A and B are shown apart, each in its own frame.
Chain A
């Protein structure tokens, strides 16, 4: 565990913010944990990714039990896609161990910018979108496209410690005929197993600092639970806009750190 009580509380606050914003915006908070830890806490990038992976498991575990109980998650589809996501995650987690931090950081910046653009589209679409309460009947199609996208999403998870929902959700929604609410719940269900597959490799390699992860993940749990309660009362467009701004600021900071050689 970390020695300083202040540091423990700060790390828990980072997790709380990431978990809370993640639940409010309907995205995994993992995408902001890695840059926050690497930029502001001087945590080595590989270890920051390891902590983020464990946080993604926490977010998925805490929230997907609710979606499964409400029968929103398509477990069958999720488990078929997990065959690809876990294969991608395990392979990428091994490769990440051989990649230098600059290459990983550059890839992370690209992923942050892609995620920001994907969230802008979602925020724009959510302006007039009515809340989808009932799930329309649907038939899943185009499995090969879904499996290919899931392999890529899993690889990003293993490399960067993210959930990969920004890849899977649009593919399920646009190409596989899955309603958006089901796609989001199913993606959330799959990211736990996917992140765990990568996390086993990171843990074994010594890239999951238990002291840091313990404090951050405790915060993520608390933030996710509060965020999930507040989500129906908060307009998605405001939360998404704030999340986009945070993502862009972190991408900018990461580029600056890359140029000045400031990453640990």
Chain B
């Protein structure tokens, strides 16, 4: 069980690293006056950050499926449905 949690941890860790790198680049580019590129980097950084929690749920779903923990597979799947529904609502509002 504890070894399997590594998948969830690395999903969070690399999501955070990638998002931080993009947002830091956005700040540096913005300070240098390269607004257009700063905007691209900021948008990419925010989207990576928004996607990371959803990827973490998928990682947990895979983890529990591997452990054959049916109850937690159901919990993860239900959670994914709620979060995906919210994101679809967000896209429709856009």
Contacts and interface: CB of A to CB of B under 8 A. Distances in A.
Given A12-B27, A214-B41, A65 B90 contact: no
Contacts of B16: 58, 61-62, 65, 221
B5 A213 contact: no
A230 interface: no
Contact of B23 (A86, A90, A201, A218): A218
Given A68-B5, A193-B53, A193-B57, A2 B86 contact: no
B60 A214 contact: no
A80 interface: yes
A198 B89 CA distance: 11
Interface string A86-97: 110110011000
A217 B46 contact: yes
Contacts of B43: 210, 214
Contacts of B60: 75, 79
A174 B10 CA distance: 31
Contacts of B27: 8-9, 12, 214-215, 218
A63 to B, nearest CB: 9
A41 B90 CA distance: 26
A208 B46 contact: yes
A201 B87 CA distance: 7
Nearest to A199: B50
A202 B46 CA distance: 13
Interface residues of B, number: 53
Identify which of B13, B53, B90 gathers the most chain A CB atoms within 10 Å of its CB. B53
Interface on chain B toward A: helix, strand, loop, or mixed SS? helix
A64 B60 CA distance: 14
A213 B48 CA distance: 13
B49 A57 contact: yes
B90 A204 contact: yes
Contact of A218 (B8, B9, B24): B24
A200 B31 contact: no
A62 B90 contact: no
Contacts of B87: 200
A61 B5 contact: no
Interface in B75-94: 75-76, 78-79, 82-83, 85-87, 89-94
Interface of B: 2, 5-6, 8-10, 12-13, 15-16, 19-20, 23-24, 26-27, 29-33, 35, 38-39, 41-43, 45-46, 49-50, 52-54, 56-57, 60, 72, 75-76, 78-79, 82-83, 85-87, 89-94
Given A71-B5, A193-B56, A196-B52, 17 more contacts: A1-B42, A8-B27, A54-B49, A61-B16, A65-B9, A65-B10, A68-B8, A69-B5, A76-B72, A86-B79, A86-B82, A192-B53, A192-B56, A196-B54, A200-B89, A204-B94, A214-B46
Top 4 A-B residue pairs of the complex, sorted by shortest distance between their CB atoms:
A214-B42, A204-B90, A204-B93, A200-B90
